[in-house]
Structure 1
Amino acid sequence: MTVPKLALSDNSEAALSKTRADVVVIGTVQGEDGVRLAAGADVADAAFEGKLAEVLTTLGASGKLEEVVKLPTLGKLSAGVVLAVGLGKADAEGAVSGENVRRAAGAAARALAGTERAFVTLSALDLQAAVEGTVLGAYVFTEYRSEKGDAPVSKVDFANPAEGAAKDHKAALKTATAVAESVIVARDLINTPPNDLFPASFADRAVKLAEAAGLEVEVLDEKALKRKGFGGILGVGGGSSRQPRLVRVAYKGTKATKKVALVGKGITFDTGGISIKPAAGMDHMTSDMSGAAGVLASVLLAAKLKLPLEVIAHIPLAENMPSGTSYRPGDVLSMYGGKTVEVLNTDAEGRLVLADAIVRAAEDNPDYLIETSTLTGAQVVALGNRTAGIMGTDEFRDRIATLAQATGEGGWAMPLPEELRADLDSRLADLANVTGHRWGGMLAAGIFLREFVAEGLTWAHIDIAGPAFNTGGAWGYTGKGGTGVPVRTIHAVLEDIVANG
């Protein structure tokens, strides 16, 4: 993990005159009458005799979100370059949203590649968003490249916000850095190719990370899974020479008031099995373990921040491959806990490993259960590539959706229509793993999972099929590949549980 060295600094004329930064980053806002400078840019503007906005306008700046314009300071500042990044439009009160600050900081960080040191003033608007955006925007995954390209910016000084105590600013910097680093843990796992990240190697990495954090960790191999009756995980993973695992990572904070179970889908590669996927785009299925990466990173983050909670992550890991030992359409699997499932499509495998893990997680008697997975293509059809679908206990579902939107990761509350349950009826088993039609596929998957949630347990399912992996160009603080969604959402939920129960 490579993260810039971060610090707080005064945003004063004296500080800027002595800064060792190569670049000063300021924000611009898209106004009705043209570009205007955002809060925090005052000192840089003074060095340009109050004409910085005029100069930027001459260079074509508009303040549009993520727009990057560079200009030389010509000795007016100690730093050689001013980088102006667009924050988009302000609201009716003149405020810029935290997510726009985060995205602008990310765009600036990408433009700072090859820079040794930068001074960022966007923190005057929102310190946590500026830090998260900068760290995540600077992220690159180059482990498998012989030519690494320009290194990310090495050091970043953030201007202290004008309001609030210095100790509060330091605490915010620490928290934001921890959150961003945890997202990077998930991104690194997702971006590791499947020939190097398979069930056993994922489990090994989880053990090392957990033990380094002082956490309790347990790994069940294929023999233990068979002995204990985890038929879903074994069925999905049976076609691969690289056998499945179930990892449990547990953290218990001092004075823990609530217990939260996290479950994440860990299909380290998904061919679809016997119901094989089309070749086009199958390489993206290296990201089918994004839910597992997210919950592992989240329990490690809870420990790093010493949250007064008990958080237990359950991570089912399997590789879904076609072979002579693969499970087949028409098979009936005996799941952990006793329910039976008729397999109608082996490409609906995620819900099978999750069902086993959900039943196991409920045995720890948590107050809440959060499950996340790249579960259905129907999520992308319904909500696109950046908005997760959130289902589950109504009040908890809505609570998570609100927090997801506040973090900038995005999420939308979705129903679990009762009429779809009958479509999962099986002629042989307790239920089938898919319906016989295309309609409401994301919702039907949620209903399937609900069948394995213990009665009375407050729970939520977050479908991140689209948001977990960016197949397009970089934007904001999101590069190509693994995004680390929904680590920031889960963190926000855990903090909310601490605050409100």
Structure 2
Amino acid sequence: MTALTLSTAGAATLRADALVVGVAKSPKGGKGLVVAPGAEAVDKAFDGKLATVLETLGASGSEGEVTKVPAPSGLKAPVVLAVGLGAAPEKDETYDAEALRRAAGCAARALNGTKKAAFALPVEAVEDAEAIAEGALLGAYAFTAYREQGKDAKGPLAEVTLLGGKPRDKAFKAAAERAAALAEEINRARDLVNTPPNDLYPESFAAIATAAGKEHGIKVQVLDEKALVKGNYGGIVGVGQGAEHGPRLVRLAYTHPKAEKTLALVGKGITYDSGGISLKPAGHNETMKCDMSGAAAVFAAVVTAARLKLPVNVTGWLALAENMPSGSAVRPGDVLRMYSGKTVEVLNTDAEGRLVLADALAKASEENPDAIVDVATLTGAMVLALGNRTFGIMANDDAFRTSIHEIAEEVGEQSWPMPLPADLRKGMDSPTADIANMGERMGGGLVAGLFLKEFVGEGITWAHLDIAGPAFNEGGPFGYTPKGGTGSAVRTLVRLAERTAAGDLG
């Protein structure tokens, strides 16, 4: 776990293994590099020629570019790491928080294996300090649990010291504490997503949630397979019945004595998705440990809300199952009676996420929360529509959908509002059951959203986040985003909880 401290020390006098500064492209009309605010003392140690030295080494100031140079004798740190911030802001403007977050993440990744780094990036306001801290702590993430130490396994940057922060200022202190709690829980979600499915299965995930509940004062209730059968959770039981590891439904409840609103979060937790009898084709199974990313995001968001002591009630529902083919597995053509009482004809056992979510949504609706948000790696169709870095947002209320989109943009998560066209509902008509779990192939991500809508209680505001694209990064790391599990949607859910606590549900 990377430690975070605020310091008023000067960049030239602080002892650290590396000193991080920002550089940028000149504003319109200018040429070459400019040294960003916060690095004045470092530039002075280079006799005012830091930009020239970096340009000689090929630096351009492009976003995410990292250049290391030996420090001159005037600095206590032996290495200066210059990170690109992109275009410098125009006069009277400041650097965008997301640009600072990404730059700090790039620098922290480049310093993995280092003990201590001081970050002298531009801090004009509390929000800048929080963005830098958040980016550095997220960028420092490394999943090394299954690597022999010393072989291909650099540990994360051990300590981040943020210069320009004011440790005695209540606002800066609160911002640092928020950044630390949020980053730690996002990184825990990443750990869960990255954990191999032979170690992370419904029962073990439920045990992790139970332990976290005890630590942070969250009430946790776990329904095992017997309780799920007895409770008529046909969707969760049906998906999980082919696996050796039985399914679970986990309810986490964080409550606050001053809360006036309740937010329910529902997460898809397929700890491994083979596709079931409708087996996935070769080449599509290797990363299916990530199909519980929605549940990981919900878990992390509830714990973060508890750690921040937000004056809002947040309930998390983790719908956990393994989707495996076996003699006891659900078959195409089977009909499941869901918790809500509706019957579903299963046309494709690889459309299983919507089945477990449907039961959890119906159960969450019984408590009549002010809003429900579900999060799921639900459809490949959403990846085709929006790519690998953007999640889709659907809702039964346009204003709520817009609000979540704005929140996601505010916290630096790429998202896009998507419709729920009523004409696509007919494709899920079944001659046997109330509804089928598949509809038209075109617009498959929207069809899945329409299916889920059927199980939301009447009059309850609801949104669905399909994070199939950004939940698991199969490419190279970028900004503060690592390869593998990303913790997608956690920041959006936490900010939504904060907005709800402030009386602005959207």
Q: Give TM-score, length-normalised by structure 2.
A: 0.95
Report whether the alignment pairs 1:103 with 2:102: yes
How far apart in 1 are the matches of 2:321 and 2:90? 50
- 2:403 maps to 399
When residues 412 and 165 of structure 1 are mapped into structure 2, their CA distance, relative to the original with a 3 A threshold, is farther
How far apart in 1 are the matches of 2:49 and 2:89? 25
- 2:412 maps to 408
- 1:172 maps to 175
For residue 18 of structure 1, report the CA deviation from its aligned partner.
3.3
- 2:194 maps to 191
2:68·2:82 contact (CA, 8 Å) conserved in 1? yes
Number of matched pairs: 494
Report whether the alignment pairs 1:6 with 2:7: no
How far apart in 1 are the matches of 2:415 and 2:89? 22
1:233·1:317 contact (CA, 8 Å) conserved in 2? yes
2:16·2:77 contact (CA, 8 Å) conserved in 1? yes
Report whether the alignment pairs 1:87 with 2:85: yes
Aligned partner of residue 160 in structure 2, secondary structure: strand
- 1:160 maps to 164
Q: Give TM-score, length-normalised by structure 1.
A: 0.96
AA partner of residue 321 (structure 2): A
1:160·1:169 contact (CA, 8 Å) conserved in 2? no
2:37·2:122 contact (CA, 8 Å) conserved in 1? no
How far apart in 2 are the matches of 1:101 and 1:263? 31
How far apart in 2 are the matches of 1:90 and 1:315? 43
Report whether the alignment pairs 1:463 with 2:480: no
Where structure 2 has 5 or more consecutive residues not aligned to the other structure, the ranges are none
1:296·1:313 contact (CA, 8 Å) conserved in 2? yes
AA partner of residue 434 (structure 1): M
How far apart in 2 are the matches of 1:453 and 1:316? 15
Aligned partner of residue 308 in structure 1, secondary structure: coil
Partner deviation per Cα, 1:148-199 (whole Å, 9 max, x = no partner): 532222222101258x982211111111111111101111111110000011
Moved more, 50-59 or 127-136: 50-59
State the superposition RMSD in angstroms. Answer: 1.4
Partner deviation per Cα, 1:306-353 (whole Å, 9 max, x = no partner): 000111101111000000001011111000020010111000000000
For residues 139-288 of structure 1, the aligned pairs below 5 Å read: 139-148=141-150, 149-161=153-165, 166-288=169-291
- 1:68 maps to 66
For residue 263 of structure 1, report the CA deviation from its aligned partner.
0.2
- 1:484 maps to 487
Match of 1:138 among 133, 137, 140: 140
Partner deviation per Cα, 1:119-165 (whole Å, 9 max, x = no partner): 10125251111111111111001111113532222222101258x98
2:7·2:165 contact (CA, 8 Å) conserved in 1? no
Aligned partner of residue 283 in structure 1, secondary structure: coil
Partner deviation per Cα, 1:37-96 (whole Å, 9 max, x = no partner): 111111111222221111111111110011001111131211111110001123545432
How far apart in 1 are the matches of 2:281 and 2:88? 44
Match of 1:384 among 376, 384, 387: 387
AA partner of residue 20 (structure 1): R
How far apart in 2 are the matches of 1:91 and 1:41? 16
Match of 1:430 among 434, 459, 465: 434
How far apart in 1 are the matches of 2:149 and 2:313? 43
Superposed structure 1 runs of 4+ greater than 6 Å apart: none
1:21·1:117 contact (CA, 8 Å) conserved in 2? yes
1:11·1:40 contact (CA, 8 Å) conserved in 2? no
How far apart in 2 are the matches of 1:110 and 1:409? 19
Where structure 1 has 5 or more consecutive residues not aligned to the other structure, the ranges are none
Match of 1:127 among 126, 129, 141: 129
How far apart in 2 are the matches of 1:7 and 1:129? 14
For residue 281 of structure 1, report the CA deviation from its aligned partner.
3.1
For residues 418-457 of structure 1, the aligned pairs below 5 Å read: 418-435=422-439, 437-457=440-460
- 1:289 maps to 292
- 1:22 maps to 17
For residue 434 of structure 1, report the CA deviation from its aligned partner.
0.6
Aligned partner of residue 318 in structure 1, secondary structure: strand
1:345·1:433 contact (CA, 8 Å) conserved in 2? yes
How far apart in 2 are the matches of 1:99 and 1:420? 37
How far apart in 2 are the matches of 1:418 and 1:257? 34
How far apart in 2 are the matches of 1:183 and 1:426? 40
How far apart in 1 are the matches of 2:275 and 2:428? 20
How far apart in 1 are the matches of 2:90 and 2:416? 25
Aligned partner of residue 86 in structure 2, secondary structure: coil
Partner deviation per Cα, 1:206-263 (whole Å, 9 max, x = no partner): 1111111111110001110011100000000011011101000101013001000010
Aligned partner of residue 138 in structure 2, secondary structure: helix
How far apart in 2 are the matches of 1:116 and 1:285? 34
2:272·2:291 contact (CA, 8 Å) conserved in 1? yes
AA partner of residue 23 (structure 2): T
AA partner of residue 129 (structure 1): A
AA partner of residue 409 (structure 2): Q
Partner deviation per Cα, 1:5-38 (whole Å, 9 max, x = no partner): 21111153xxx34312121100011224111111
Moved more, 413-422 or 95-104: 95-104
For residue 274 of structure 1, report the CA deviation from its aligned partner.
0.6
